[in-house]
């Protein structure tokens, strides 16, 4: 039978013990990180979880309602993740869990020393332009939708943690480093998008992201963006990818798809009209890109409960 889990858990399910109906816990521990897979087979409310290290939680299957002190309550679906600081308590509801359709989630706790090490390496190798604070791991909770790259890294870590390989510590260290750096870049990207308007006169990336968001309906030229950032085109491309973890085109497409998601949920406009509004001059290209980002067609997304 085909599983509807986001990640392949066959290796885990083969060996795990089911001892609890709510938040059955299976932990895989290495020197610098611990991967825990939680499974809930019955509806429950106000289940509390706290970790002693910073943790990445990521939904695999089903739905949760998450409550964090520093974030408004939100529905939590597969393809989404939350970074939670150490010693921060999560309060979780399971409104849909059953034995036939359990809710599954993973928690990846990373040693603070490892996060500090990777952050320092990133600051030394690729300094954050126009920033006095540099790259840093968020000290507050951070809720986001996974990119395909982050999904792939999480899937690889599940394989590494659950396999029986004497070199798994080495493999895990390589993937943890990349995942940590991409999460830091994701946080920095969100910060620029959320607060960039206050920094457009002092931070060229804030200015560029603001310009892109205000002009998603138009065609973008990389040379034009490079000129606005006062950089050569090759340097702009290289620095943009280093700062955001995405190429300029990938970032633009990501923002266009997010705008399309918003319009699908808040208006009754046709898919073709939304496609044009979001800057796509080819409907088929929009449909393919939307499904790649969301695993749903635009009409399926509109009909779903996703926000």
- 246's CB contacts (< 8 A; 6+ apart) are 147, 189, 240, 254
For 204-215, write each residue's pLDDT tens digit: 888 899 899 999
pLDDT computed for residue 101 by the predictor: 93
Q: Treating both helix axes as pointing N-terminal to C-terminal, what angle do 204-214 and 248-266 enclose, rounded to 10 degrees?
A: 40
198 is a domain residue: no
How many CA within 13 A on the CB side of residue 30? 25
Q: What is the pTM of this model?
A: 0.80
Q: How confident is the model at residue 197 (pLDDT cuts 50, 70, 90)?
A: low
Q: What is the DSSP letter of 197?
A: G
Phi and psi, residue 211, nearest 5°:
-60, -45
Q: Do 105 and 33 belong to one domain? A: yes
Are 84 and 140 members of one domain?
yes
Angle (CA) 181 185 190, round 5°: 150
Same domain, residue pair 296 and 173: no
> pLDDT tens for residues 75-128?
999 989 999 999 999 999 999 999 999 999 999 999 999 999 999 999 999 888
Q: How confident is the model at residue 305 (pLDDT cuts 50, 70, 90)?
A: low
Does 3 fall in a domain? no
How many alpha carbons fall within 13 Å on the CB side of residue 200?
Answer: 14
Helix (H, G, I), strand (E, B) or coil at 45: strand
Q: Are residues 118 and 238 in the same domain?
A: no
Task: Compute CA 248 distance to the chain's CA centroid, rounded to the nearest angstrom.
Answer: 18
Number of structural domains found in the chain:
2
Same structural domain for residues 155 and 239?
no
């Amino acid at each position: 039978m085909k599983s509807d889990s986001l990640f392949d858990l066959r290796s885990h399910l083969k060996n795990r013990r089911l001892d609890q109906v709510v938040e059955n816990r299976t932990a895989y521990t290495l020197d610098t990180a611990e991967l825990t897979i939680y499974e809930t087979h019955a509806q429950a409310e106000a289940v509390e979880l706290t970790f002693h290290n910073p943790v990445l939680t990521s939904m695999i299957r089903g739905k949760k309602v998450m409550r964090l002190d520093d974030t408004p309550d939100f529905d939590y679906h597969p393809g989404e993740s939350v970074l939670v600081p150490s010693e921060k308590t999560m309060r979780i509801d399971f409104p849909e869990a059953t034995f036939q359709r359990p809710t599954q989630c993973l928690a990846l706790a990373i040693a603070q020393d490892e996060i500090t090490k990777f952050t320092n390496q990133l600051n030394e190798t690729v300094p954050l332009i126009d920033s006095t604070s540099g790259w840093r791991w968020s000290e507050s909770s951070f809720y986001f939708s996974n990119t395909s790259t982050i999904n792939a890294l999480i899937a690889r870590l599940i394989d590494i943690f659950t396999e029986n390989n004497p070199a798994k510590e080495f493999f895990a260290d390589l993937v943890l480093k990349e995942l940590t750096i991409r999460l830091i870049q994701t946080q920095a990207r969100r910060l620029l998008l959320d607060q960039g308007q206050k920094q457009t006169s002092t931070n060229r990336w804030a200015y560029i992201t603001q310009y892109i968001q205000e002009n998603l309906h138009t065609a973008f030229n990389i040379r034009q963006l490079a000129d606005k950032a006062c950089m050569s085109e090759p340097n702009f491309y290289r620095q943009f990818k280093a700062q955001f973890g995405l190429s300029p085109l990938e970032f633009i497409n990501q923002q266009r798809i997010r705008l399309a998601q918003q319009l699908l949920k808040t208006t009754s406009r046709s898919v073709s009209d939304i496609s044009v509004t979001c800057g796509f001059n080819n409907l088929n290209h929009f449909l393919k890109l939307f499904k790649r980002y969301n695993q749903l067609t635009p009409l399926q997304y509109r009909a779903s409960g996703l926000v």
